[in-house]
Amino acid sequence: MHSHCSKVNLYLSSLLNNKMRLLWQILYLHPARVRRSSSTSAGVVNFVPVCSSTDSTSRKLLQDFVSRSTRLFVITGAGLSTESGIPDYRSEGVGLYARTDRRPMQHAEFVRSAKSRQRYWARNFVGWPQFSSHQPNSAHRILQRWEERGKLNWVVTQNVDALHSKAGQKRLTELHGCAHRVMCLGCGAISARGALQKRFLALNPAWSAQAGGVAPDGDVFLDDEQVLHFRVPSCEDCGGTLKPEVTFFGDTVNKATVQFVHDRLAESDAVLVVGSSLQVYSGYRFLLAASDRKIPVAILNIGSTRADHLAQLKVSGRCGEVLSVIQPL
Ligand SMILES: [Zn+2]
């Protein structure tokens, strides 16, 4: 009797497992669009796009994917930092493209036009106190712990917000540079953005008091008259033009940096994309390289990405929420 019951139970549980699997597959393939209530506190603008809750199968598959890897290569993008209050460019409804007429600075325009640089730095100066105060969120901290436990081979980020390094990530390449550093286009010297803020303040003592209008997301509204009076310092060593040490649109990532990242990828046994739509080629090329090398790819992102067809697993969800239930075993 007992043995019969066990058999039935076994049969039932296998039937149930199959059914669940089928249900999971359906859920996975056709995720219901659930409007999640915002988890941010009142008064804080929410830049995390609306997304469906991640089903348990996706989570389990992602757990299996991470467990199988011993040298994980992680690519992160703007989707990771939205949970820290930094808006991304492309998300439906909440990204900068959707909300404002702001477009990223073009490299050629910055180099060519003193007026453009003046406008850029004036906005950057006003937005800096808030931008520089953003803190890493749970997703950054989790990736740092994975590094500590030896799970991670390398992290490549397309973000320039320094949140990975603030979280203590060491095995890290900032593919597009970092807004916390400034470089001289004349002599190539690198300096701290914080030091430049002091020079801005010294050069524009009255100006800073007039500039108001900083939106909660760090968007800065300045009229032409205000910008006209903003004084931009040049390199203290050579008098050259100062530029944030970030890759503007239309510029290319340093070849040595790209090769270095390819080398780290070649040592890795799996690629996990976290919070990037991979629309920009500089990040997407590593997915192409992973595909060439037959390295398995999983993507955790809200919304579709350019590399969905290259991934064996696609999980839609908030980075911090999903990563927090994954064990780096
Ligand atoms: Zn210089």
Residue 324 DSSP label: T
Q: Kind of pairing, strands 172-174 and 72-76?
A: unpaired
pLDDT per residue as tens digits for the range 133-187: 999 999 999 999 999 999 999 999 999 999 999 999 999 999 999 999 999 999 9
pLDDT per residue as tens digits for the range 212-231: 555 544 556 677 888 888 99
Residue 300, beta-bridge partner list: 274, 315
Q: What is the dihedral of CA 243, 245, 249, 252, to 10 degrees?
A: 120
Determine the distance separating the centroid of ligand 1 and the alpha carbon of 185, expressed in angstroms. Answer: 7
More confident residue, 133 or 11: 133
Asked if 277 contacts 252 with a C-beta cutoff of 8 angstroms, the reply is no
Q: Is 250 annotated as a binding residue?
A: no
Q: Is 94 annotated as a binding residue?
A: yes
Q: Is 114 annotated as a binding residue?
A: no
Q: In sequence order, what DSSP letters do the residues of 65-124 get, joined into one string?
A: HHHH-SSEEEEE-HHHHGGGT---SS-TTTSHHHH-S--PPBHHHHHH-HHHHHHHHHHH
The pair phi, psi for residue 170, each rounded to 5°, is -105, -45
Residues with active-site annotation: 176
- Identity (one letter) of the amino acid at 139? A
Q: Is 86 annotated as a binding residue?
A: yes
Residues of the chain with CATH 3.40.50.1220: 34-86+136-176+250-329
Residues of the chain with CATH 3.30.1600: 101-133+180-246
Determine the distance separating the centroid of ligand 1 and the alpha carbon of 245, expressed in angstroms. Answer: 13
Helix axes 56-68, 2-29, angle to 10 degrees: 90
- Predicted local distance difference test score (pLDDT) of residue 39: 39
pLDDT per residue as tens digits for the range 235-289: 999 999 999 999 998 999 999 999 999 999 999 999 999 999 999 899 999 999 9
Look at domain 34-86+136-176+250-329 and name its CATH class.
Answer: alpha beta
Q: Is 308 exposed, middle or buried (0-12, 13-18, 19+ CB in 10 A)?
A: middle
Asked if 213 contacts 221 with a C-beta cutoff of 8 angstroms, the reply is yes
Determine the distance separating the centroid of ligand 1 and the alpha carbon of 255, expressed in angstroms. Answer: 22
- Predicted local distance difference test score (pLDDT) of residue 75: 98
> Above 80 in pLDDT, residue 292?
yes
**Alpha carbon distance 191, 240 (integer Å):** 13
pTM reported for the whole predicted model? 0.80
CA–CA distances in Å: residue 73 to residues 85, 163, 186, 311 = 25, 18, 35, 14
* 101-133+180-246 maps to CATH 2.40.350: no
Q: Quote the tokens at residue 172.
A: 């890290």
Q: Is 95 annotated as a binding residue?
A: yes
Determine the distance separating the centroid of ligand 1 and the alpha carbon of 220, expressed in angstroms. Answer: 28
Q: Kind of pairing, strands 190-192 and 242-246?
A: unpaired
- Identity (one letter) of the amino acid at 1? M
Determine the distance separating the centroid of ligand 1 and the alpha carbon of 235, expressed in angstroms. Answer: 5
